[in-house]
Structure 1
Amino acid sequence: MIWTGRRAAPLHDWAMTQREAVELQRRLAGRVSTVPPRRPPRTVAGLDVSVRRGETTCRAGAVLMTVEPLAVVARARVERPVPFPYVPGLLSFRELPVLLEALARLPEPPDVLVLDGHGRAHPRRFGLACHLGVWADLPALGAAKSILCGTHGPLGRARGSTAPLVHRGETVGVALRTRDGVRPIYVSVGHRLDLATAVALALRLAPRYRLLDPIREAHRLVNEPAPERAGGASQRP
């Protein structure tokens, strides 16, 4: 069975200029919810996109996992033409169309979407995790490897140390150390989560490595040799 998502109609059309994309982000930022979830998540989906240098196609992977224990339930991968140029701050217009296809190929919707990218830690408070969360109407968090906007103060060396990520006087995320003495990641709300819940979940999903396990699994999936150059495939482990 293919899950087709909760939203009956697309959130918007994809044909637009960079200026129109910026304005759309500003409008949609008001739809992001930071209300805490009613119950702890049982499942998450890690999502990632790979665009190899010199290629005109992008490959998206979605990996459904249980939270306790951390185990892969199903995987889906889709390859499509790159629809939008690489522009800092507009990553979702490049990656979201193919991510939506991969997500829809999972056998069931996850309780939380986990993305290698930013949510509200974005100049217009509408990064990739926000865009996908609002479109799919699912809780989402962003866990990025680098800062797009904002600064943070000193961070302890121990696993679990945090520091607020602040941009223009607003806390937009948290710098989180997931391993002792290793560079932090940057966690922010995508949709239907509060920041404290997002940080706690991110730490839980990174028991051994710097990056969250669902993101690592999705990254591995999109970089595996493709069984077919176009189209998509879904599979269980």
Structure 2
Amino acid sequence: MIRVRDPHPWPTTEAEAVAIQERLRPLVRFDGEPREIRTAAGLDVAYRDESDELVAAVTVLDVATLSVVDSAVVRGKAEFPYVPGLFAFREAPSLLQALAELSVEPDVLVCDGQGLAHPRRFGLACHLGVLTDVPSIGVGKTAMGHYEPPGEERGAWTPLRLDDEVVGRALRTQRGVKPVFVSVGHRFTLDAACDLVLRLAPKYRLPETTRTADHLGRSALR
């Protein structure tokens, strides 16, 4: 069972949220990874149209077979408004509840969002990683920063930069498709994060962790 190690009150204002990010950011570790990654959790949040109603979905995959070995769904409501750079405060509370319901503790969290690739270098993957102390990475569908297109072959990558600092990579997971944007969340290296994403994405652009969590969340909304 995953436990939140450093809980904090959930903010009601932008200033409070930014202060929490600034306080927790020094706790992020950008080095090391588990010796052996056997299970990986995909985290995703689905929203009902024109509503703050949401479903937080977590799937745990066996990395060797990419089969789902555990999952959890939490229905809730976004209590914090949508503010760029503060997205975690809408989604993290429900995702943490879903993580707490798992019977299989994953070796890594693969977040549908950003980690270090964030204006304050503390995206959703960093936030969840610090609060749970579980290794985490962010895999975004859109770039937070600037990059040159990587080569067309699978595994090609280019640096993702924000404010002239390398914050992640644009990674080509499949030939002829758009890259994904990988950044470290907590207790991981960027090299290892990209290697893991390629293992989790043998056929499609997005890793199977994200695909299975997205499908679970959307199904729960119907």
Name the counterpart of 1:183: 178
For structure 2, the 5+ residue unaligned runs are: none
Match of 2:69 in 1: 73
Deviates more, 1:183-192 or 1:53-62: 53-62
**In 2, distance between residues paired with 1:38 and 1:186?**
21
Change (3 A) 1:226 1:13: same
Q: Does 1:158 align with 2:157?
A: no
Amino acid at match of 2:189: D
Matched, 1:207 2:202: yes
In structure 2, give the amino acid aligned to 1:105: E
The alpha carbon displacement at 1:20 in A equals 1.7
SS in 2 for 1:223: helix
State the distance in 1 between where 2:55 and 2:39 align: 23
Residues 1:6 and 2:3 are matched in the alignment: yes
Structure 1: gaps (5+ residues) = 228-237
Question: Alpha carbons of 1:60 and 1:225: their partners in 2 closer, same or farther (altered >3 Å)?
Answer: closer
The 3-state SS of whatever aligns with 1:224 is helix
Q: Give 3-state SS (helix, strand or coil) of 1:53's partner.
A: coil
Q: Please list every run of at least 4 consecutive aligned residues from structure 1 whose deviation after the TM superposition is greater than 3 angstroms.
A: none
Q: Distance in 1 between matches of 2:43 and 2:85?
A: 18
Deviation at 1:53, TM superposition (A): 1.9
| 2:60 aligned residue (61, 64, 82) | 64
Q: How far 1:181 moved relative to its partner?
A: 1.4
2:194 pairs with 1:196: no
Which residue of the partner structure matches residue 123 of structure 1?
A: 119
Tell me the residue number matched to 1:33.
29
> TM-score, normalised on structure 2?
0.96
Cross-structure match for 1:174: 169
Deviation string, structure 1 residues 136-184 (Cα, Å, up to 9, x no partner): 1100000000012x21124101111100111122210000011101110
Q: Distance in 2 between matches of 1:53 and 1:201?
A: 33
Aligned partners of 2:104 and 2:216: how far apart in 1? 18
Taking the aligned partners of 1:154 and 1:132, their CA distance within structure 2 comes to: 29
* Alignment partners' CA distance in 1, 2:220 and 2:109: 25
Q: Which amino acid aligns with 1:174?
A: R
TM-score by length of 1: 0.90
Aligned letter for 1:6? R
Measure how far apart 1:38 and its partner are.
Answer: 4.3
**Which segment is superposed worse, 175-184 or 28-37?**
28-37
Q: Deviations over 1:2-27 (max 9, x none)?
A: x2x2345x421003311221222122
Residue 163 of structure 1: SS of its match in structure 2? strand
- Partner of 2:219, secondary structure, is coil
**How far off its partner does 1:28 sit?**
1.4
**Alignment counterpart, residue 214 of structure 2, candidates 211, 215, 219:** 219
SS state of the match for residue 119, structure 1?
coil
Using the TM superposition, give the Cα deviation of residue 75 of structure 1 relative to its aligned residue in structure 2, in angstroms: 1.3
- Deviation, structure 1 residue 37: 1.7
Is the CA contact (8 Å cut-off) linking 2:34 and 2:135 kept in structure 1? no
How much has 1:226 moved relative to structure 2?
5.1
Note the aligned Cα RMSD (angstroms). Answer: 1.4
Q: What is the rounded CA distance, in whole Å, between the counterparts of 2:99 and 2:167 in structure 1?
A: 26
Moved more, 33-42 or 56-65: 33-42
Number of residue pairs the alignment of both structures matches: 222
> Is it true that 1:101 corresponds to 2:136 in the alignment?
no
